[in-house]
Structure 1
Amino acid sequence: MSISTALQGRKALVTGATSGIGKSVARNLSRQGATVVLHGRDQARGEAAVKEITAEGGNARFIAADLADADDTLRLAAEAGAVDILVCNAGLYEFTSTAATDAASFDRQIAVNTRAPFLLVGALAPGMAERGRGSIVLVGSRAARQPAPIGAAYGASKAGVEVLTRYWAAEFGASGVRVNTVSPGPVHTEGVQAMLGEHIAALDATNARGRAGAPAEIAEIVSFLAGPASSYVNGAVLFADGGERSTLPA
């Protein structure tokens, strides 16, 4: 485990931080000295994640909230308080055909993946701007640029994230607040494992590296975008996908 002080004195809010990429992001930011507010829906999982961080000497707490609910999302922002780093990682995906995606499913995906970051940025970025510093990192998806026969609603919700990145970079950049997105390719997470089951090995054939990524690898990129080493990076969408293939290998 590497320890750094690059983010000493900074406070971060990470959504979807009880598993997968979000949990790795929270731990990585803590290891660099940040005080971390973890978000999730499950209190027990949240408390367990906080214990892991504090066992390493970090400073963390957990707030439960449902990002599909606008009022609960704003409550999360209020309870988190002033933050220097916002990582919008929480995501909802329902990979179905357009005909099989009803209005409720579409609304859920847009609410969690696009509206929740919009509300959190609206609530927290002005404070960053007043203080003259801040970093917002959104977690996108290659689904925003690589169409598939299913998952159109999810792809649309993540395309919205990329558009918002550029708008917010323009809106807040002059005030010292940077906004960037990391766009992962396939990553071995608990959610992906549950979705693919025995077909999980197929992920390793989807890119030029010949393997899917690990949550910790994405967390390193998020920490780079959140920290001072990326001080001149603003409005960028950083692809972390191992190198896309146009077709799968035979």
Structure 2
Amino acid sequence: MELTGKIALVTGSTAGIAAETARLLAAAGAEVVVSGRSAERGAATVRTITDQGGLARFVAADLSDLDSLHHLAAEAGAVDILVNNAAIFPGAPTVAQDVASFDASLATNIRAPYFLTAALAPAMVAKGSGSIVNVSTMAAKVGMPGLSVYSATKAALESLTRTWAAEFSPAGVRVNTVAPGPTRTEMVLAAMGEEGAQQVAKTTLLGRLATPREIAEVIFFLATDRAGYLTGATIAADAGRTAA
């Protein structure tokens, strides 16, 4: 298997896209560190992997807390693959945005991947190989009412992808982003409802919601050597929404 002997950390992998990503990485032979706030959900993700003969373990982490983040980095150790997926998804018009959720979004969606990458990238650089995949959103490029904070944090993450590629790729560490379109996840449905999600889906060229597995397949591709000549890129997995 192509990822045998590799260690992957996937943040926010107790559900949705990241849980599917964790399963794909494990099926390819990687030992996966599953991370999130819910021990119950984390155990369920680990169980689905180990029941299929894969290797996985759960490390609880609240990435809005720097002490918890540093604990996760220490527990994960030297990883070969880092998927920065964990995020929160506040929705509010700009004039109604509260400071608490604004600050929480910056802490979880920008500060967390920044300092987690800073903690884990040096071991990749020393080894001369590694892949970091950031998970963004099509809303980083398409103006969507009510998503000012979320889209701004993800646009910042895409900018960090380019900077990190410039810093780390000369040493053999690739850094890329996947920017999903509307996807059938609990977070999306909780924020937008079925009707709202379907309305957004109809604006894409394919006219439907993505499944979490469809987005996870793109993340998996970028994490592996199949994408060996890609770095600093943002891949739009959005059914053509940002293309036309």
Which TM-score applies when normalising by structure 2?
A: 0.96
Q: Given the alignment, which residue of 112, 122, 126 partners 2:122?
A: 126
Contact 1:208 1:245 in 2 (8 A): no
What residue in structure 2 maps to residue 178 of structure 1?
Answer: 174
CA distance in 1, matches of 2:15, 2:226: 26
State, as a whole percentage, how many aligned pairs show the same letter.
51
What residue in structure 2 maps to residue 201 of structure 1?
Answer: 198
Q: Secondary structure at the match of 1:170?
A: helix
What residue in structure 2 maps to residue 231 of structure 1?
Answer: 228
Q: 1:74: how far off?
A: 1.4
| Alignment partner of 1:105 is 2:101 | yes
Change (3 A) 1:138 1:48: same
Which digits, 9 at most, give the CA deviation of each residue in 1:89-140, with x for residues without a partner? 1110111011211221111111111110001110000010001110000000
Which one-letter code corresponds to 1:46 in the other structure? G
Which digits, 9 at most, give the CA deviation of each residue in 1:11-64, with x for residues without a partner? 000001010001000001011111000001001110111011000000000011
Q: 1:196: how far off?
A: 3.1
What residue in structure 1 maps to residue 159 of structure 2?
Answer: 163
Q: 1:184: how far off?
A: 0.3
Q: Given the alignment, which residue of 47, 58, 80 partners 1:62?
A: 58
Write out the 4+ residue segments of structure 1 that deviate beyond 3 Å after TM superposition: none
* Worse-superposed segment, 235-244 or 206-215: 206-215
| Alignment partner of 1:141 is 2:157 | no
Q: Secondary structure at the match of 1:160?
A: helix
Which digits, 9 at most, give the CA deviation of each residue in 1:156-208, with x for residues without a partner? 10011000000000000011100000000100111222233341433431200
CA distance in 1, matches of 2:190, 2:154: 21
Q: Given the alignment, which residue of 127, 131, 150 partners 1:154?
A: 150
Contact 1:39 1:46 in 2 (8 A): yes
CA distance in 2, matches of 1:196, 1:214: 16
CA RMSD of aligned residues (A): 1.4
Q: 1:72: how far off?
A: 1.1
Q: Secondary structure at the match of 1:111?
A: helix
Q: Secondary structure at the match of 1:191?
A: helix
Change (3 A) 1:128 1:245: closer
| Alignment partner of 1:42 is 2:29 | no
CA distance in 2, matches of 1:173, 1:79: 25
CA distance in 1, matches of 2:227, 2:198: 34
Q: Secondary structure at the match of 1:17?
A: coil
1:3-42 to structure 2, matched below 5 A, reads 5-42=1-38
Q: Secondary structure at the match of 2:96?
A: coil
CA distance in 2, matches of 1:196, 1:152: 15
Task: State the number of aligned residues.
Answer: 243
Which one-letter code corresponds to 1:217 in the other structure? E
CA distance in 2, matches of 1:128, 1:245: 32
What residue in structure 1 maps to residue 70 of structure 2?
Answer: 74
Which one-letter code corresponds to 2:109 in the other structure? N
CA distance in 1, matches of 2:122, 2:227: 21
Which one-letter code corresponds to 1:8 in the other structure? T
Q: Secondary structure at the match of 2:94?
A: coil
Q: 1:155: how far off?
A: 1.1
Which TM-score applies when normalising by structure 1?
A: 0.94
Gaps of 5+ in 2: none
Contact 1:13 1:80 in 2 (8 A): yes
Q: 1:245: how far off?
A: 6.8
CA distance in 2, matches of 1:191, 1:246: 25
Q: Secondary structure at the match of 2:83?
A: strand
Which one-letter code corresponds to 2:106 in the other structure? I
